[in-house]
Chains A and B, each alone.
Chain A
C-alpha cells in the first residue's frame, strides 16, 4: 500500500467520555420491565363513572355519526389526536349519560355504553412466575435473569462504542499521505464488488439519479466508486494501526482465507479468488484484527 499514515494520533491520550464505558443494567430498567409485566397481567373491571385512564366505549346518538363505526372509543387522559375535547368531557360521566363533542369536523352526541378500568397486577413473586421463565420464581431471580439476558450484549456494544470513538479520533487527528491513484483504484475495485452485489439482490445500479437514460455498466461502477472514495482513508488507518502493533497478514493467511471462502461458498478456489479481490479480503481481515486488538484495550475501561 502506497498511502500511509505519517503521524498516527495517540488516541489513548484523549479522555474517554464516561458514558461510553457504561453497560450495566440499572435497577430502574428492571423496575420498568416489571411494571410493564404487571400492566400486561392487569385485570379489567367495569366502572360506573369515567375517570382518567379508563377505556370508554360510546355509541353515537342523534343524526351524525362516524362512518363505518358502531362504537366510538375514548381514552381520557391519553390525549389522542382528534378526541382530546371528547376525552375531557367524558370524565365524570356515568354509563348511559351523553356528551356533546366534536371529533374531526363532526358534531356528535355520544352516549356512554361501557367503562372499563384497569388494575395492574401487584409486582411480587407471583407476577414473575406468570412470565413463565424457566428457573425464575422470585423478583430477585427475575432481576438476575434479566441482567443475564441483556448485559452481555450491552457490554459488547459498550466495547464497540469505545472502539468507534477511538477510530473517529484517529481518523480526524492523524496525518495521512494519500496516493490518489491508489485511492481511485481501490474505490473502483470496491465499486465493482458492490455493482455485482446490487445485481445479485435485485437492485438496479443503472438507474440514473436524474433523467431517464439508464447508465452503462462503466458509468454505474464509476458512480458507486465516487461514493466509496471517502472510505478509503479508513482502510489506510486500519493498516497503520495494524502495522503499529506488528500485525502482518502474509501469503499463508491469504491462501487459508481463500480456501475457507471457497469451502463456505461451495465453489472452486479460482472462483473464490475471482469473486473476492485480495485487497477486499485484506481490508476486511485487517479491520477485524484491529477491532479485536482495540476491543481488548477497551475491555478494562468498562465500568466494573
Chain B
C-alpha cells in the first residue's frame, strides 16, 4: 500500500490502527530524502501495517505535541501506543529490525 500522507488534523485518525509506522520528515532535509524510498519500499511490501508520513515543517502542531526535535524521526505504534522510536535515516535492514520489534517483542 502507498504511504499515507498525514497532517495536523488527521494524524490521530491515521495512527489508529493495530500496527502503524510514522515517518516525521521535514523540508530541506537530506536524510529525509534518503529515507523516503526505503520507507516507501517497506510500505509497498508489508500488508496490514499502516505506513504514514507527515511533514513537520508544515505541521508544527504535531511536531510540538510529539516533541519532534530532529528529522527524520520514525515512530512505531501498536494499537495507538508508541512502542519504539528512531531518530535519523535508517537502512532497510534496520527498518526491518524496528518493525520486527513492533510486531514480535
Residue B1 at the A interface, CB < 8 A?
A: yes
Residue B19 at the A interface, CB < 8 A?
A: yes
Q: List A contacts of B37 (CB < 8 A).
A: 36
Q: Tell me the nearest residue of chain A to B97, going by C-beta.
A: A81
Q: List B contacts of A41 (CB < 8 A).
A: 2
B19 touches A73 (CB 8 A): yes
Q: List A contacts of B79 (CB < 8 A).
A: 68-70
A36 touches B41 (CB 8 A): yes
Q: Tell me the nearest residue of chain A to B104, going by C-beta.
A: A82
The interface stretch among B6-14, B45-53, B60-68 is B45-53
Considering the chains assembled together, what is the distance between the CA atoms of A118 and B47 in angstroms?
9
B47 touches A82 (CB 8 A): no
B18 touches A71 (CB 8 A): yes
Residue A42 at the B interface, CB < 8 A?
A: yes
Q: Tell me the nearest residue of chain A to B105, going by C-beta.
A: A104
Instruction: Bin the interface of chain B by size.
Output: 20 to 34
Q: List A contacts of B1 (CB < 8 A).
A: 44
Residue A259 at the B interface, CB < 8 A?
A: no
Q: List B contacts of A39 (CB < 8 A).
A: 41, 44-45
Prevailing SS type, chain A contact patch: loop
Considering the chains assembled together, what is the distance between the CA atoms of A66 and B18 in angstroms?
13
Residue B21 at the A interface, CB < 8 A?
A: no
Q: Tell me the nearest residue of chain A to B37, going by C-beta.
A: A36
Least CB distance from B45 to A in Å reads 7
Residue A286 at the B interface, CB < 8 A?
A: no
Least CB distance from A81 to B in Å reads 4
A66 touches B104 (CB 8 A): yes
Chain A stretch 212-256: residues in CB contact (< 8 A) with chain B: none
Contact with B along A66-85 (1 / 0, CB 8 A): 10111111010011111100
A104 touches B104 (CB 8 A): yes
Number of A-B contacts (CB under 8 A): 73
Among B2, B3, B105, contact of A82 (Cβ-Cβ < 8 Å): B105
A80 touches B47 (CB 8 A): no
Q: List B contacts of A40 (CB < 8 A).
A: 2-3, 40, 43-44
Residue A192 at the B interface, CB < 8 A?
A: no
Considering the chains assembled together, what is the distance between the CA atoms of A104 and B18 in angstroms?
20
Considering the chains assembled together, what is the distance between the CA atoms of A219 and B31 in angstroms?
35
Considering the chains assembled together, what is the distance between the CA atoms of A73 and B105 in angstroms?
12
Residue B32 at the A interface, CB < 8 A?
A: no
B78 touches A80 (CB 8 A): no
Least CB distance from A33 to B in Å reads 8
Residue A57 at the B interface, CB < 8 A?
A: yes
Residue A55 at the B interface, CB < 8 A?
A: yes
Among B3, B41, B48, B104, contact of A80 (Cβ-Cβ < 8 Å): B104
Q: A73-B49, A78-B45, A80-B96 are in contact. List 19 more A-B contacts (CB 8 A).
A: A36-B37, A53-B45, A54-B47, A55-B46, A57-B48, A66-B104, A68-B79, A69-B78, A69-B79, A70-B18, A71-B18, A73-B19, A79-B96, A80-B100, A81-B96, A83-B103, A103-B104, A104-B105, A118-B47
A: residues with CB less than 8 A from B are: 36, 39-42, 44, 53-55, 57, 66, 68-73, 75, 78-83, 103-104, 116, 118
11 CB < 8 A contacts A-B: A40-B3, A40-B43, A44-B1, A69-B78, A70-B79, A73-B47, A78-B96, A80-B96, A82-B104, A83-B100, A118-B44
Q: Which 10 A-B pairs have the closest CB atoms?
A: A55-B47, A39-B44, A116-B47, A82-B104, A80-B100, A81-B100, A40-B2, A103-B104, A82-B100, A73-B48
